Structure 1
Amino acid sequence: MEQLTTGAGTPERTRIVLAEVVRRRDHDRARAELAEQTQVGDALVRGLVRAQLALALRLSVVVAIGLGALPLLFAIAPATSTIKVVGISLPWVLLGVVAFPFLVAVGWAYVYLAERNEQDFTAVVRRPER
């Protein structure tokens, strides 16, 4: 409480100042943890980065196995390289035509799953604490 006085020494008015009560919602606290780069916020971000990296590595293995198995197939069964599809040998069809939709499908799956990881991260940040 603060009293203001006039030059004559008599109180003119009394001003009462109360501390503001700020109540943050729980998801605001998590956002603050992220913005202030605290240990909790750092752990949340590291979890997201780890999930995205794990997803990228898993899909890289899928691509490596999917495309890397083709030379192995042709080495183990050389007769498959003599097969013709619409007048084009099978290895060229697999590598030139089938590989592209396969890579597009893996890319689409990565984007979809990465967005889902980000949505899960956002849900954790916005989830009320109990």
Structure 2
Amino acid sequence: MAEEQPPSPPRREIVTGVPRGVNRRPPAHTPARSEISEQTTLGATYVRALMRSQLRAGLGALGALALLVGTLPVVFSLPRSASGPLVWVAIGLVVYPVMWLIARWYVTRAERNEADFTGLVMDPAEAPISLHRPG
């Protein structure tokens, strides 16, 4: 009598693909980047949009600064007895910290505008990791 062999386990199938973590080769060009480098109408629109957003941020910061500095003559026009210490408080404790906040807002806004533009132009595989929160 022939001895029966135990049934063999089912054959395993191995599926292969691109390993995780390996960067895929980026496309030869990104449409937005080529539009800008070829100086087409669409590329000019992209650059104009960046310049417009940067101008808007700059004018906003300038307007806030003008409003801040424009109120100083009102403080200085108060009667001498009441405005003596108030002038120093206004200049030393109010104006400079507010100017710093305006400058900080402008720099943050300008960096965010540039990051948005870079995200539009670059391929997602090449895009640098953003340290800014979205919004």
Query: Which of 58, 70, 73 is residue 72 of structure 2 equivalent to?
Result: 70
C-alpha deviation, 1:79, in angstroms: 5.2
Instruction: Tell me how far apart the structure 2 counterparts of residues 68 and 46 of structure 1 sit (CA, whole Å).
Output: 31
- Once the two structures are superposed, residues 12-37 of structure 1 have per-residue CA deviations (whole angstroms, 9 ceiling, x without a partner) of xxxxxxxxxxxx84971111111111
Secondary structure (helix, strand or coil) at the match of 1:64 reads: helix
Aligned to 1:101: 97
Change (3 A) 1:67 1:121: same
Provide TM-score, normalisation by structure 2. 0.61
- Once the two structures are superposed, residues 24-56 of structure 1 have per-residue CA deviations (whole angstroms, 9 ceiling, x without a partner) of 849711111111111111110011001100111
**4+ residue runs over 3 A deviation:** 24-27
Larger relative CO (CA 8 A, sep 6+): 1 or 2? Answer: 2
Q: Which structure: greater helix fraction?
A: 1
Secondary structure (helix, strand or coil) at the match of 1:31 reads: helix
Aligned residue identity for 1:92: W
Instruction: Tell me how far apart the structure 1 counterparts of residues 122 and 35 of structure 2 sit (CA, whole Å).
Output: 12
Change (3 A) 1:34 1:94: same
Change (3 A) 1:99 1:27: farther
Provide TM-score, normalisation by structure 1. 0.63
Unaligned runs of 5+ in 2: 1-25, 125-135
Unaligned runs of 5+ in 1: 1-23
Mapping 1:20-99, distance limit 5 Å: 25=27, 28-75=30-77, 78=78, 82=82, 89-99=85-95
Q: Which structure: greater strand fraction?
A: 1
* Identical-pair percentage: 39
Q: Give the count of matched residue pairs.
A: 99
Whether the aligned pair in 1 keeps the contact of 2:57 and 2:106 (CA below 8 Å) is: yes
Instruction: Tell me how far apart the structure 2 counterparts of residues 126 and 80 of structure 1 sit (CA, whole Å).
Output: 60
Please give the root-mean-square deviation of Cα atoms over the aligned residues, in Å: 2.7
